Amino acid sequence: MTTMASSLTVSARRISDSGRVLRKGPFKGKRVEFASTTGVETLENIADDFMLNIFGFEPGHYLITDLSSLHDFVGVDDMELVEILARTMEVYGLDVADPPSGNLLEIFRRLREQQVDN
């Protein structure tokens, strides 16, 4: 994982491991827990390529977890979900409209399968 992404992951783990509770603001007293990144980390190269080609994010300039989805990125560069799906089809030749959740980890797994098949 790239340096910035690694530090974000480490920070997320530290917060989660230490059980930090927010001390002020509207979520005062609430515990912050990040979703796992284990799956995304195993497909790091595919994730980096996808995030750059679809959203223009350089490696390390975004934080995604195993629960992240395409829906989380609607509005990036004013893109709507239909445009993200079309761009994914254009760049990778992969229709990702069928998983209703738009889960990125599932998409990355399908891209890996596509690479293996080719």
Give the model confidence (pLDDT) of 43-82 as tens digits. Answer: 999 999 999 999 999 999 999 999 999 999 999 989 999 9
Across residues 7-34, what is the average pLDDT? Answer: 66
The count of domains in the chain is: 1
Whether 42 is covered by a domain: the verdict is yes
Whether 63 is covered by a domain: the verdict is yes
For residue 87, is pLDDT > 80?
yes
Q: Which domain range does residue 55 map to? A: 36-117
Q: Which residues contact 73 (CB under 8 A, 6 or more apart)?
A: 54, 55, 79, 84
Whether 6 is covered by a domain: the verdict is no
pLDDT at residue 20 in the model: 76
pTM for this entry? 0.76
Whether 10 is covered by a domain: the verdict is no
